């Protein structure tokens, strides 16, 4: 047995004989949401810096300015001939304030909010409060920001985003990336949505009143970055994950548990003097939940010429098995399938292109990138508890946390040992991948298409 595999065995043994990963997840969840602009965000930064420095890891900070957003009150009232009732609702992130005024009008249902669905009712949308649910659309799954952009384009006065999962849970999430949206946006539960749809059926015209007060200051935040020098120092693999959650939640699966995982890797590498083949640069990204803002600023600002690959952990822990996405890159897909045979584990490998997480800005710079998710046990639930107040640490088991950490360690090690890294992509290759996947229109709508 060579020295390297002995170290690997020791690290894997240690993962299962300790409970540190689970304690880290709880620490990050109990400090609060880590939402950008809150005290708990600052607490999370200090927590990471404290631990990393105690592991004698080379740590740096990357500061940047962004469009901030602070949640205020939200009232949402339904009036018809038979009912007059206020329902609990919350504002969506980066949605504007109504500045003390109440916005009032007829509320209608726009289903999944795809262009196909909205076109069918396009004459009735202008000036209305438009309910859109978070479920699949007639065009398949669409990101909330696309549904919002569609609603704005069709002339809605307010975007009412309804959860498609039960449990009296309000969905949140950003409506634009790094800028304030055009129209107010509120999240309501599935139960409220179903009731309003029923009232509309019976009474046809239902009035709705919305009043939201949010603040929109310019703020600064920072990424926490640390490196484990490799045998090949000038080839860098970035391992990233966002540490911010949503202000209504602990953000346990999304994404405290991934951050706990990379903190644990730092500790274990140091404890066992693990030297990777290529240098590993870990980045705990800030301000992801505002529309992948922090990593976009970082990739536009920093020289990435030595970065050969990016591995993004978003929702890593929580469910087994794991799903590895290859962003439409054929060579990467082929290599990942080969790599699968070297690991004593069988993750799902797909060519899925993830555009709403921290890997995407790296992809736009031509860097081969993957995302690792925990597969959802039931694909029908979509995000499930994600982006609601129910994304809490108790949904994660100790065993899932340990297995996910072990998987991350084995995968990163195997990935790093590959003889050659997949080639970087030229702009024309990136554009071809996105066009072949028919993502051009969506990405333009999302203001995430930097090409001519």
Sign of CA dihedral 428, 432, 438, 439: negative
Compute CA 241 distance to the chain's CA centroid, rounded to the nearest angstrom: 9
Tell which residue, 259, 264, 255, 94, has the closest CA to residue 186. Answer: 94
| Residue closer to Zn ion, measured from CB, 117 or 254 | 254
Q: How far is the CB of 244 from Zn ion (least distance, A)?
A: 9
| Residue closer to Zn ion, measured from CB, 34 or 157 | 34
Q: How far is the CB of 291 from Zn ion (least distance, A)?
A: 12
Q: How far is the CB of 327 from Zn ion (least distance, A)?
A: 16
- Strand 84-87 relative to strand 74-79, pairing: antiparallel
| Residue closer to Zn ion, measured from CB, 105 or 382 | 382
Q: Does residue number 358 form part of the binding site for Zn ion (CB under 5 A)? A: no
Site stretch for Zn ion (CB under 5 A), options 84-92, 147-155, 253-261, 325-333: 253-261
Total residues contacting Zn ion (rule CB under 5 A)? Answer: 3
Site stretch for Zn ion (CB under 5 A), options 59-67, 227-235, 312-320, 341-349: 312-320
| Residue closer to Zn ion, measured from CB, 32 or 276 | 32
Q: What are phi and psi of 374, to 5 degrees?
A: -85, 130
- Strand 232-242 relative to strand 278-285, pairing: parallel
Residue 45 makes CB contacts below 8 A (sequence gap 6+) with 61, 222, 224, 243, 286
Q: How far is the CB of 199 from Zn ion (least distance, A)?
A: 35
Q: Does residue number 254 form part of the binding site for Zn ion (CB under 5 A)? A: yes
Note whether 73 and 215 are within 8 A (CB).
no
| Residue closer to Zn ion, measured from CB, 108 or 324 | 324
| Residue closer to Zn ion, measured from CB, 36 or 151 | 36
| Residue closer to Zn ion, measured from CB, 314 or 413 | 314
Site stretch for Zn ion (CB under 5 A), options 127-135, 247-255, 269-277, 371-379: 247-255
Q: To 5 degrees, how large is the angle CA 445–CA 238–CA 400?
A: 90
| Residue closer to Zn ion, measured from CB, 115 or 254 | 254
Site stretch for Zn ion (CB under 5 A), options 104-112, 248-256, 301-309, 361-369: 248-256
Residue 140 makes CB contacts below 8 A (sequence gap 6+) with none
Site stretch for Zn ion (CB under 5 A), options 54-62, 170-178, 255-263, 419-427: 255-263
Site stretch for Zn ion (CB under 5 A), options 216-224, 306-314, 320-328, 424-432: 306-314
Residues 368-397 binding Zn ion (CB under 5 A) are: none
| Residue closer to Zn ion, measured from CB, 264 or 358 | 358
- Measured distance CA(47)–CA(227) in Å, rounded: 17
Looking up tokens 């205020």 gives 72
Site stretch for Zn ion (CB under 5 A), options 249-257, 258-266, 323-331, 392-400: 249-257
Q: Does residue number 400 form part of the binding site for Zn ion (CB under 5 A)? A: no
Q: Does residue number 314 form part of the binding site for Zn ion (CB under 5 A)? A: yes
**What mask, x for binding Zn ion by CB under 5 A, covers residues 260 to 299?**
----------------------------------------
Of the candidates 255, 261, 312, 359, which one interacts with Zn ion according to CB under 5 A?
Answer: 255
Q: How far is the CB of 255 from Zn ion (least distance, A)?
A: 4
Q: Which residues pair with 78 in a beta bridge?
A: 85, 208
Residues 53-112 binding Zn ion (CB under 5 A) are: none
Q: How far is the CB of 107 from Zn ion (least distance, A)?
A: 30
Site stretch for Zn ion (CB under 5 A), options 78-86, 170-178, 307-315, 344-352: 307-315
Q: Does residue number 244 form part of the binding site for Zn ion (CB under 5 A)? A: no
Q: Which stretches of the chain bind Zn ion, using CB under 5 A? A: 254-255, 314
């Amino acid at each position: 047995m060579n020295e390297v595999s002995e170290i690997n065995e020791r690290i894997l043994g240690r993962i299962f004989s300790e409970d540190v990963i689970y304690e880290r997840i709880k620490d990050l969840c109990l400090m609060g949401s880590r939402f950008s602009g809150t005290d708990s965000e600052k607490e999370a930064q200090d927590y990471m810096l404290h631990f990393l420095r105690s592991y004698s890891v080379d740590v740096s900070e990357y500061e940047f300015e962004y469009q901030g957003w602070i949640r205020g009150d939200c009232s949402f009232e339904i009036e018809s001939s038979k009912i007059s009732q206020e329902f609990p609702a919350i504002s969506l992130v980066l949605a504007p304030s109504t500045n003390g005024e109440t916005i009032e009008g007829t509320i209608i249902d726009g289903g999944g909010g795809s262009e196909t669905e909205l076109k069918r009712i396009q004459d009735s949308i202008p000036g209305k409060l438009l309910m859109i649910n978070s479920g699949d659309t007639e065009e398949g799954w669409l990101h909330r920001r696309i549904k919002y952009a569609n609603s704005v384009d069709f002339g809605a006065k307010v975007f009412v985003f309804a959860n498609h999962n039960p449990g009296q849970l309000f969905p949140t999430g950003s409506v634009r990336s790094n800028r304030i949206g055009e129209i107010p946006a509120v999240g309501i539960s599935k139960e409220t949505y179903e009731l309003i749809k029923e009232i509309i059926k019976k009474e046809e015209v239902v009035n709705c009143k919305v009043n939201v007060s949010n603040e929109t200051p310019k703020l600064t935040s920072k990424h926490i970055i640390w490196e484990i020098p490799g045998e090949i120092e000038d080839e860098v693999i970035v391992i990233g994950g966002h540490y911010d959650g949503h202000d209504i939640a602990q953000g346990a699966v999304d994404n405290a548990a991934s951050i706990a995982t990379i903190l644990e890797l730092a500790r274990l590498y140091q404890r066992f003097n693990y030297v990777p083949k290529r240098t590993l640069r870990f980045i705990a990204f800030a301000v992801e939940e505002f529309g992948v803002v922090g990593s976009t600023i970082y990739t536009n600002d920093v020289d990435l010429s030595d970065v050969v690959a990016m591995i993004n952990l978003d929702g890593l822990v929580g469910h087994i098995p794991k799903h590895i996405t290859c962003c439409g890159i054929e060579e990467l897909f082929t290599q990942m399938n080969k790599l699968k045979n070297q690991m004593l584990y069988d993750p799902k490998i797909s060519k899925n292109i993830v555009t709403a997480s921290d890997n995407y800005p790296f992809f736009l710079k031509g860097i081969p990138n993957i995302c690792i998710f925990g597969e959802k046990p039931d694909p029908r639930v979509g995000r499930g508890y994600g982006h609601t107040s129910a994304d809490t640490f108790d949904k994660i088991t100790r065993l899932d946390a340990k297995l996910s950490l072990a998987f991350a360690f084995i995968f990163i090690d195997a990935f790093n040992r590959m003889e050659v890294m997949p080639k970087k992509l030229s702009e024309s290759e990136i554009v071809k991948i996105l066009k072949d996947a028919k993502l051009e229109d969506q990405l333009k709508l999302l203001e995430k298409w930097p090409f001519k």
